[in-house]
Chains A and B, each alone.
Chain A
């Protein structure tokens, strides 16, 4: 899948420096640092409890880091939580309109119209969100994350509850976003998606960033005889005692 990262000039879109998060005595993130480039599609993988959601929540401004800093304000970052964060009794357009107004966009109606068009939900604009399929709810969820036209979009396990067809459409949509220059960061348990769609992969284990590079580089780190990316990833974890 072509993206700006592979075709355009690389430019730092978001810098993360020594991000640490502690919950009491437990350290959920430990001095995590990386940089994201404009138009890059970055996948974060790791076992359960690795700190993926904590990292995304800090980047989104939902959680405060214990130490460390970001080069962008969370208000400039779009965020799509794992579960659709929508009012099920409101229609698609009403949800979009509400968040456009809360974002204090200069022309909320225009933003709603554009998002309906981008997510191909114009025909469902007046339907209650609670009556939409999981895939369509996820599209509305993403549309709200994109309302403020962010340079960086965070997606927390975006395809977790979708069927294969809905997943395919979702990745087409995300690829198009990255193609337009939006940096997209997503977390997932589906390492095949990372191999297939991500320009770069971050491996997070026990709050520590163990690897950053392309999926191919991750495979090479483990050894060339691995037949699939998932086996390479599991071997990578085993080698490091996880």
Chain B
């Protein structure tokens, strides 16, 4: 087997273009996937027309003013605003593609909000103009702005409730409020009741005022009790739900290291599968297979050599890639022996898949095409999130992913890189089983190889 390995390495050394493509292409694909998964989406460019006059963004509510315009700045966390000065300009920006959408805040938005919070009448409205050319971009912008607008809505209503609760508290306990620039002293229900009760106590027993004041005192007590109950209820409406997160799968996987694992395994898969499939098919294209298996090398040894060659080359490239990626993303170097183990086992399984493809297709160009066409869907199937498709489709995808080495190799590499659960044991066993299975399939393919 040593001489065959040396021979194949000599052939590879004399095919620099092929080797270059085999290395550069998967790394480029892997880096793109890595960047896509690890980078948050950028802020969409949105033309923003704010027709509210400066200084007019405040509403009066109860004893306080709420700066509605201040909440607009929250929108800028989700969008990259392009300030425009008219609706026509906003529409033009969207039409010519400078902005993905336009958001128009009307000049009377403050009055609309004021009317809503004071009288309960009205529906404050902002206008969103979307470019409908690209449905994906449209959905992206729509979601980004809608999500942020609902946060603004929630923040405003929370602020309104906070003011309402404060005012109710002052109605209950009394204090000083500002209204139209003047200070007013509020007695408060509790103080009023104390005064009334003191007055009742000081009245002669037969005083006709006693009955009337007792009714006032009872009403005050009822109002105190009712408003005292209302305050915490109103306060809780602002944040009706509190989300408590519980992680069931042990340590969570950092997004960056998971993206790095995906990038490395995609690279490992493409190099190994293409190399194994191509090098086995080459033996037939060069007519050397028949010469080799007539007593010089058994078919099993030939397959082992191709698997070992492709796994060794690809695992080395992937290991270097992981080391390079670790300069930017935290990968646990104390587990580097597990890196080697995961990449080697993954490489062997992908190599076995590659020789199965080479054995069945029997021709270099066909096997290369088949290897390439199979590789990306295999990765795609394994990466589909659980909630992205229906349960039945997900079950089918899981079954397909189970039959190919990508998912197990990814789990093994992910564990090796960051020590996350599930452990590395089961993925390695899975990879070993797949290696044997695909090697067996390749052996069957060799029956009609000569």
* Most chain B CB within a 10 A radius of its CB, from A57, A83, A87, A90: A87
CB atoms of A62 and B11 under 8 A apart? no
Contact among A75, A85, A90, A101 for B10, CB-based, below 8 A: A90
Q: Does B185 contact A (CB under 8 A)?
A: no
Q: Does A132 contact B (CB under 8 A)?
A: no
Contact among A81, A88, A128 for B291, CB-based, below 8 A: A81
How many B residues are at the interface, by size bracket? 10 to 19
Q: Does B292 contact A (CB under 8 A)?
A: yes
Known A-B contacts A87-B11, A89-B11; A61 and B294 likewise in contact (beta carbons under 8 Å) = yes
Q: Does B14 contact A (CB under 8 A)?
A: yes
Nearest A residue to B8 via CB reads A87
- Hey, which chain B residues are within 8 Å of A144, CB to CB? 291
Report the separation of the CA atoms of residues A98 and B2 in the bound assembly, to the nearest whole angstrom: 10
- Hey, which chain A residues are within 8 Å of B4, CB to CB? 102
- Hey, which chain B residues are within 8 Å of A83, CB to CB? 287
CB atoms of A102 and B292 under 8 A apart? yes
Contact among B10, B292, B450 for A89, CB-based, below 8 A: B10
Report the separation of the CA atoms of residues A9 and B256 in the bound assembly, to the nearest whole angstrom: 81
Q: Does B290 contact A (CB under 8 A)?
A: yes
> Closest approach, in angstroms, between the C-beta of B376 and any C-beta of chain A?
28
Q: Does A74 contact B (CB under 8 A)?
A: yes
How many A residues are at the interface, by size bracket? 20 to 34
- Hey, which chain B residues are within 8 Å of A57, CB to CB? 290, 450
Task: Scan residues 280-296 of chain B and give those whose CB is less than 8 A from a CB of chain A.
Answer: 286-288, 290-296
Q: Does B15 contact A (CB under 8 A)?
A: yes
Contact among B3, B14, B15, B287 for A84, CB-based, below 8 A: B287
> Closest approach, in angstroms, between the C-beta of B301 and any C-beta of chain A?
11
Q: Does A230 contact B (CB under 8 A)?
A: no
CB atoms of A62 and B10 under 8 A apart? no
Q: Does A86 contact B (CB under 8 A)?
A: yes
Q: Does B7 contact A (CB under 8 A)?
A: yes
> Closest approach, in angstroms, between the C-beta of B81 and any C-beta of chain A?
60
CB atoms of A85 and B287 under 8 A apart? yes
CB atoms of A90 and B7 under 8 A apart? yes
Report the separation of the CA atoms of residues A119 and B357 in the bound assembly, to the nearest whole angstrom: 38
- Hey, which chain B residues are within 8 Å of A87, CB to CB? 7, 11, 286, 288
Report the separation of the CA atoms of residues A223 and B133 in the bound assembly, to the nearest whole angstrom: 86
Q: Does A44 contact B (CB under 8 A)?
A: no
Contact among B10, B286, B297, B450 for A88, CB-based, below 8 A: B286
- Hey, which chain B residues are within 8 Å of A88, CB to CB? 286
- Hey, which chain A residues are within 8 Å of B15, CB to CB? 89
Report the separation of the CA atoms of residues A57 and B289 in the bound assembly, to the nearest whole angstrom: 13
Residue-wise, chain A 90-128 has the 8 Å CB interface mask toward B (1 for contact) of 100010001101110000000000000000000000001
CB atoms of B3 and A75 under 8 A apart? no
Report the separation of the CA atoms of residues A57 and B297 in the bound assembly, to the nearest whole angstrom: 17
CB atoms of B287 and A98 under 8 A apart? no
Task: Scan residues 57-72 of chain A and give those whose CB is less than 8 A from a CB of chain B.
Answer: 57, 60-63
Report the separation of the CA atoms of residues A63 and B7 in the bound assembly, to the nearest whole angstrom: 25
Report the separation of the CA atoms of residues A128 and B13 in the bound assembly, to the nearest whole angstrom: 13
> Closest approach, in angstroms, between the C-beta of B3 and any C-beta of chain A?
5
> Closest approach, in angstroms, between the C-beta of A7 and any C-beta of chain B?
32
CB atoms of B293 and A62 under 8 A apart? yes
Report the separation of the CA atoms of residues A89 and B12 in the bound assembly, to the nearest whole angstrom: 9
Nearest B residue to A104 via CB reads B296
Report the separation of the CA atoms of residues A90 and B286 in the bound assembly, to the nearest whole angstrom: 11
- Hey, which chain B residues are within 8 Å of A128, CB to CB? 14
Q: Does A79 contact B (CB under 8 A)?
A: yes
Known A-B contacts A62-B294, A79-B294, A103-B296; A94 and B287 likewise in contact (beta carbons under 8 Å) = no
CB atoms of A102 and B296 under 8 A apart? yes
Task: Scan residues 200-222 of chain A and give those whose CB is less than 8 A from a CB of chain B.
Answer: none
- Hey, which chain A residues are within 8 Å of B293, CB to CB? 62
CB atoms of A89 and B295 under 8 A apart? no
- Hey, which chain A residues are within 8 Å of B290, CB to CB? 57, 60, 62, 81, 85
On A, residues with C-beta under 8 Å from B are 57, 60-63, 74-75, 79, 81, 83-90, 94, 98-99, 101-103, 128, 144
Known: A79-B294, A102-B296, A144-B291. 19 other contacts (CB 8 A): A60-B294, A62-B450, A74-B294, A75-B294, A75-B295, A81-B290, A83-B287, A85-B287, A85-B290, A87-B7, A87-B11, A87-B286, A87-B288, A88-B286, A89-B11, A89-B15, A98-B3, A99-B296, A102-B292
Instruction: Give 30 CB contacts A-B under 8 Å.
Output: A57-B290, A60-B294, A62-B290, A62-B293, A62-B294, A74-B295, A75-B294, A75-B295, A79-B291, A81-B290, A81-B291, A85-B287, A85-B291, A86-B286, A86-B288, A87-B7, A87-B11, A87-B286, A87-B288, A90-B7, A90-B10, A94-B7, A94-B10, A99-B291, A99-B296, A102-B4, A102-B292, A102-B297, A128-B14, A144-B291
